[in-house]
Structure 1
Amino acid sequence: MTTIAILATGAMGAGIGLHLVEGGATVLTNLDGRGPESRRRAVEAGLRDVPLSEVARADIVLSIVPPGSAVALAERLAPALAASDSKPVFVDANAISPETAERVRAALAGSGCAVVDGCIIGAPPQPRGKSPAFYVSGDPDRLTAPLAQHGLDWKPMEAPFGAASGLKLVYAMCTKGVTALAAAMVLGAERNGAGAALRAELARSQPELVGRFAKAMPDMLPKAYRWVAEMREIAAFLGPDDPAALMFEGAAQVYERLAADREAGGELGATLLAGSKPAV
């Protein structure tokens, strides 16, 4: 039986953990400093809360945290990994740029552990549900193969370390990037009295977008605060010489604004939800 540690137990981490438990793995986590929701998700997923020293004795450690926390988690775990006689494979599965993935690898350079680049594309798995795609790069020896044996949709890439992170970001350009553009479009139309006409015109000429926006907006609002750093990772990935980087800095600011609005009562969010409903 493979022992897999997951840090941390957000919606995706807990969902992946549950899926692995259903696939017969022993799944560990560490809940030091985590809130009640994280603890509830871990218990419901069947994850064992253990000290970092025991996390460091797992076969595989999966890092599944917000992009801005990826390097800090690696730095936090590095001493326990270095001190452990076991040397798990550390897989960074976060929405970060290849450059940030290299910083994660550098933080673990003295640990003696193999570090693999990964990414997750898809929604958190539901109980007895379908696994999201789990891509890995920089793993020529297939050290992460037990993830497939325990039910994850494991997709090894014949590519160097950093390619999986790059894949995640370019994919997010057409999902979260488009959602930011749609939010700006809807709010701009509502602000200037063109909301009803926009909804009617989309229903007439772009019907496939109507359903997409109606689903994407309520899903995005509680996550907007998490997507700020991801959009900035995309901008950093593109680099200062690529004019598209400015687009994704703008997307980061859209999500920053919506996250702040949610904290302040959600007036913009309510406008966005109303403005993205299909025209009657």
Structure 2
Amino acid sequence: MSNSPRARALAAEVRKVRKDKGMSQGVLAEQLGWSIAKISRIETAQRGIGGPDLAAVLAALRVRGKRREQLLTMAEELGRPSWWEAMAGLSAHTRACIDAEQRASRLTELSLGYVPVLLQTRAYATAVCAASGAGTGEVDEQVNVRQVRQGILHKASPVALTAYLDESVLTRPVGGAAVMGGQLRHLLRSAEAPNIAVRVLPTNLGVHAGLGGPFTLIEFARGVATVLLESQECGLLLDDEERVAAFRESVDCLDRVALGTVESRAIIGGYATKFEDRSTRQLT
């Protein structure tokens, strides 16, 4: 299966292994008796690579042991549908996002509008999904998928997540005061986990490197990375190394100007109290 998220991931791994070994596409092609075009198509996921061909590539690159087995397993899994691929209601974009999350070792997300999906409460996620005009059944399904996606933060070897939140995210009363108060308390509890960091970009910064638009830097093992850009239910995954490098620079800029985790907890807690007080007044 070529050009699927998992096929692109395998292609990126093959390309990285070749480069790490210091071998050009031409030399690899000569050793295998293939054309350079075939190697190029494999490394860009324009052509799928099965187990026998991958084994030949790895032998030529002298890749052995655990690394060899990992890559061969990736090739075997290309034909096995995962839960997100089997769900008819998910868009191709959502499937690609979930696939990348499942394979990631680290996520760095910049959010300008909403609390990141992986940190949303069920009530908050319901309000966000309902705002699109979807029916009750569709909203429930979307929220259920979001809840399942959050499992990557709590598994035995959890994904590391750093979330940079523009302060405006904390002030928007999504779902009303009670829902927002609960969401902010959930943020605080989530940030207690060693693999989760929440950093606030305060309004008084004026301009910061993230105002060009939200993004998620998705990093995998051995330095491979991609960038997710999305709007509504459509989006784009960028794999080009130069473009990914530009977003890494943006993350470095955000790291320098965002509040630290302790200061961020204080500002999130302050807004949580305000929403909770507002909710109490509305009930009396």
Structure having the higher helix fraction is 2
Q: TM-score, normalised by structure 1?
A: 0.32
Q: TM-score, normalised by structure 2?
A: 0.31
